Amino acid sequence: MTGGLFFGTLAALPAFGWGLVPRRASSWMPRPAGLAVAAGLGALAIGVEMLAMSALGIRWTAVRIAAGPLLLTALRLARRGRDAGLGWPRAGLLGSAALAASLAVIAYAAFTTRATAADLLLFWGAKAERFAIAGGIDVAFLRDRNHWGLHSDYPPLLSCVWAFASLVAGRFAWGASLGTLPLFSGLLVLAAWGLARLEQDERGAAASAALLGALLCATLPIAATAGNADPVLLFFEGTALLLLVFARERPGATPIAGALVAAAVLTKFEGGFFAAALVAASLLTGRERRNRWREAAILAAFPAAALAGWLAFCRSRALFDFLGHAPRLYVDAGRLAVVVRGLAAGADYGAAWAPWIVAAVLLLLARPSRGLGLALGAAAFTAAADVLIYLTSPADPTMWVAWSASRLLLTPLTCLFVAAIASRGGGAGARSRSRDDRTQSAASAAPAG
Amino acid sequence: MRPARDLLRRAVAAAGTAALLASGIVFCVSRGRLTLDAPATVLSNSHWVMKSSEPFLLYLRTLRGRLPRGATVVVLSPASAADPPTGTSYLFVLGQLPEHRVVPWTVLRDPSAEPPRFVAAFRRGFHDDRYRLLSSSAEDQVWELAER
């Protein structure tokens, strides 16, 4: 019962973010992508709200946290008649089977504890449970010098969302927390399916989503990510990138992408590197100079505000740990060799580097496009950031690389797969869909002014 | 030329999807018998290094209900002997006893520190004149600080 309520609360995240999806975006967004985006915005809203309540000294309760987002969703539903929206694309028999199979394997691996992350027991679960009991971000607990291993200034979004689910369920549910892996993997696949449909025919969009689902199936369980923040981070990063690749010119897409990158920044430190990578890639691949800077500014503003908020909280509560020390690079040939060897071993995923080979072959056959350039740019920047992260370690990074490389490489690898999907191009169905969209966008823009 | 390339691309994407899916299935099979039975803990089928902590995790589950809420406790285990005092074995206990105040074993040796009310020793011996044995089994003992 407790586990069901805990997982049900996480699965209900779209309900907390539905009212936050800009109306001008919901008119062109296919339903699967709308669901994923709403879940992402719901998680961000809950996390920000809980951080603000902690800052203001307001005790968390499930009702206090849920009331605001649910009210916005209710208001949106009350005005639903004006949201045309796009429905569910058809996936076809093969596409449906591939999508279902990849998600079923991920769910099986997670719930049978084959993919359990050590960090769930050492870090994420402990924080969420304590925060829920304390009814806020437990500053005294984080500041206890015996608890240095919990990294007091680590971004709080996942701990907060789990603490919210714990408040609803009555306590933290360790087994159900493993469901974060299949849930956020499923949401990323839904985002890919819906957003790819904007440029591809129905069969192509389903095949693109199935390819991404298969990537997640081959990498996330073996990288032991059930119960840690990596699936959540990958969902925010992947969905933001997909929005820019497939919907860059569409109304509301860039602010949503910016908000999702802000959520990534509040999920893990690595989210900050992704934010920088996406802004740089967007600047390099933008169409017109003016629009390019405007887009980059929007993409940077959201994560910068989120990070500033968290840093201000840490500063006011004397929580600085990692962030209290200026990073320094330790570069020498021996260390570079350790990092490169460790990354190569982590990139294997127990499948003889199959994910990289598949991505490389697909990219060799790719058609050039702006979306392709953007995703490749993000992949290159985040891969470079991964190397830099390991070169900041004052101690020998051999063990650190060994246990984290397969997780850190998930971001550049996912960016490569998004690039491969983006290069697929459209079909006859996609062209007719584009005409439909133009008509629908014009119709929905009129009443909104 | 282009249709042929597109066809090849689609074939590679389909083969890649199948290969990656198969790799995920192989991983699941490699982690033990395929079953739909609910695992005993979140470590039941995990990597062997983590799975070796499962008996300790089950023990902590029972310990949580045996100690009064809010009490200070040191938990000793075979892993804690080899670990830094506030290393992974300490963090492991911290997450499983959220209603208690878990302190590192070093407080037992620090004359200036207030001794914890309870010491739980799992698969390890413990003796300190300040403590009296509260309960004992083949696997563990729980000691309580005697009246001072």
Residue A368 is predicted with a pLDDT of 86
**Rounded CA gap, A220 and A210, in Å?**
15
The answer to whether residue A112 sits within a structural domain is yes
CB distance A46 to A164 below 8 Å: yes
Mean model confidence pLDDT for chain A: 92
Query: Mutate which of A2, A106, A121, A129 to test chain B, going by most B C-beta atoms within 10 A?
Result: A121
Domain shared by B19 and B53, yes or no: no
Residue B83 has pLDDT above 50, yes or no: yes
Sequence-distant (≥ 6) Cβ neighbours of residue A357 within 8 angstroms: none
B94 touches chain A (CB under 8 A): yes
Question: Given this model, what pLDDT does residue B14 score?
Answer: 97
Same domain, B81 and B14: no
Residues 39-78 of chain B with CB under 8 A from chain A are 39, 41-47, 50, 53, 57
On whether residue B61 sits in a domain, the answer given is yes
pLDDT at residue A392, rounded to an integer: 86
Examine residue B120 and state whether it is found in any structural domain, yes or no. yes
Is residue B118 located within the same domain as residue B68?
Answer: yes
User: In the structure, what pLDDT confidence band is assigned to residue A259 with cuts at 50, 70 and 90?
Assistant: very high
- Say whether both B14 and B54 belong to one domain: no
User: Is residue A277 within 8 Å of residue A385, measured between CB atoms?
Assistant: yes
| Cα distance between residue A121 and residue A233, in whole Å | 19
Mean pLDDT across the stretch A186-211?
Answer: 96
Does residue A237 have a pLDDT over 70?
Answer: yes
Stretch A158-166: mean pLDDT: 98
Instruction: Supply the pLDDT for residue A84.
Output: 59
Q: Does B22 share its domain with B83?
A: no
Q: Please tell me the distance from the alpha carbon of residue A196 to that of residue A242, in angstroms, as a whole number.
A: 8
What is residue A83's predicted lDDT score, i.e. its pLDDT?
59
Higher pLDDT, B39 or B148: B39
A111 against A423, higher pLDDT: A111
Residue of B nearest to A138 (CA): B98
Interface test with B, best of A133, A138, A146 (most B CBs within 10 A): A146
Residues 208-247 of A with CB under 8 A from B: 210-211, 214-215, 217-218, 221-222, 224, 227
| pLDDT on residue B148 | 60
Chain B contact present for A355, CB below 8 A: yes
Same domain membership, residue B75 and residue B10: no
Please answer yes or no on whether B46 and A126 come within 8 Å at the CB atom: no
User: How does residue A437 score in pLDDT terms, banded at 50, 70 and 90?
Assistant: very low
For residue A52, the one-letter residue type is A
Whether the per-residue pLDDT at B44 is higher than 60: the answer is yes
Residue-range definition of the domain harbouring residue A65: 2-320
Confidence class for position A429, pLDDT limits 50, 70, 90: very low
For the stretch A375-405, what's the b/e string if a residue is b when 16 or more beta carbons lie within 10 angstroms of its beta carbon?
bbbbbbbbbebbeebbbebeeebeebbeebb
Q: What does the pLDDT look like over A364-383, one tens digit per residue? A: 999 888 899 999 999 999 99
Q: State the residue range of the domain holding B97.
A: 48-145
Q: Sort out which chain A residues have CB atoms less than 8 A from B39's CB and list them.
A: 112-113, 175
Q: Which chain B residues are within 8 Å of A150, Cβ to Cβ? A: 91, 94
Same domain, B72 and B120: yes
**The pLDDT of residue A287:** 76
> How many domains would you assign to chain B?
2
Nearest-Cα distance to chain A for B87, in Å, is 7
Flag whether A398 is in a domain.
no
Nearest CA in chain B to A102: B21
- pLDDT at position A291: 85
Question: What is the rounded average pLDDT for all residues in chain B?
Answer: 95
Q: For chain A, what percent of residues have pLDDT higher than 70? A: 93
For residues B53 and B106, membership in a common domain is answered with yes
Contacts of A115 in chain B (CB under 8 A): 46
Instruction: Assess whether B53 and B13 both reside in one domain.
Output: no
pLDDT at A428: 38
One domain for residues B7 and B74: no
Q: Report the pLDDT averaged over residues A180-196.
A: 98
pLDDT digit string, tens, across residues B21-41 = 999 999 999 999 999 999 999
Q: How confident is the model at residue B117 (pLDDT cuts 50, 70, 90)?
A: very high
Does residue B7 sit at the A interface (CB-CB below 8 Å)?
no
Tens digits of residue pLDDT in A37-58: 999 999 999 999 999 999 999 9
Chain B nearest-CA residue for A420: B13
Please report whether residue B68 resides in a domain: yes
Indicate if B71 and B128 belong to the same structural domain.
Answer: yes
pLDDT band, residue A348 (cuts 50/70/90) = very high
**Contact status of A113 with chain B (Cβ, < 8 Å):** yes
Shortest CA gap A292–chain B (Å):
31
Q: Chain B closest CA to A186's CA: distance in Å?
A: 15
pLDDT surpasses 70 at A147: yes
Q: Confirm whether A118 is domain-assigned.
A: yes
Chain B residues closer than 8 Å to A152 by CB: none
Q: Is the pLDDT of residue A425 over 80?
A: no
- pLDDT at residue B84 above 70? yes
Determine, for residues B13 and A224 on separate chains, whether the beta-carbon distance falls below 8 Å. Answer: no
B13:A121 CB<8 A: no
Q: Mind telling me how many Å the CA of A34 is from chain B's nearest CA?
A: 25
User: Which residues of chain B have a CB within 8 Å of the CB of A218?
Assistant: 20-21, 23-24, 27
User: Higher-confidence residue: A286 or A82?
Assistant: A286
| Rounded percentage of chain B residues whose pLDDT exceeds 90 | 93
User: Does residue B39 form part of some domain?
Assistant: no
**Residues of chain A contacting B35 with CB distance shorter than 8 Å:** 112
- How much is the pLDDT for A445? 37
- Strand B131-136 and strand B118-122: the pairing is unpaired
| Contact by Cβ (8 Å): A150, A127 | yes
Q: What is the mean pLDDT of residues A215-221?
A: 98
A102: pLDDT strictly greater than 50:
yes
Long-range own/partner contacts, residues B9-14 (CB < 8 A, 24 or more apart): B9/A362, B9/A365, B9/A366, B9/A424, B10/A207, B12/A358, B12/A361, B12/A362, B12/A365, B13/A207, B13/A211, B13/A362, B13/A420, B13/A424, B14/A207
pTM, two decimal places: 0.94
B11 shares contact with chain A (CB less than 8 Å): no
Tell me the shortest Cα–Cα distance from B8 to chain A, in angstroms: 8
Structure tokens at A278: 């996406």
Taking an 8 Å cut-off on Cβ atoms, the answer to whether B20 and A222 are in contact is no
How big is the A-B interface in CB pairs under 8 Å?
155
A129–B95 C-beta distance less than 8 A: yes
d(Cα A118, Cα A228) in Å, to the nearest integer? 8
What are the DSSP calls for A217-231, one per residue? HHHTTTTT-BTSSHH
A367 belongs to a structural domain:
no
Q: How many CB atoms lie within 10 A of CB A204?
A: 23
For residue B122, give the H/E element and its range: strand B118-122
pLDDT beyond 80 at A324: no
Q: What angle do CA A46, A47, A51 make, to 5 degrees?
A: 115
Query: Contact B13/A129, CB-based, under 8 Å?
Result: no
Closest CB to A146 among B19, B46, B104: B104
- In this prediction, residue A410 has a pLDDT band, given cuts at 50, 70 and 90, of very high
Contact across the interface for B19 and A358, Cβ inside 8 Å: yes
Please, how many CA atoms are within 13 Å of residue A424, restricted to the half-sphere of its CB? 33
* Number of structural domains in chain A: 1
Instruction: Pick the residue from chain B with its C-alpha nearest to A124.
Output: B95
B21 and A351 within 8 Å at the Cβ level: the answer is no
Mean pLDDT, to the nearest integer, of A184-203?
96
- Of the candidate ranges A195-209, A390-404, B101-115, the one whose mean pLDDT is the lowest: A390-404
Give the pLDDT confidence of A378-388 residue by residue, as tens digits: 999 999 999 99
Model pLDDT for residues A63-81, shown as the tens digit of each residue: 999 999 999 999 999 987 5
A386 lies in some domain: no
Is residue B40 situated within a structural domain?
no
Do B52 and B109 fall within a single domain? yes
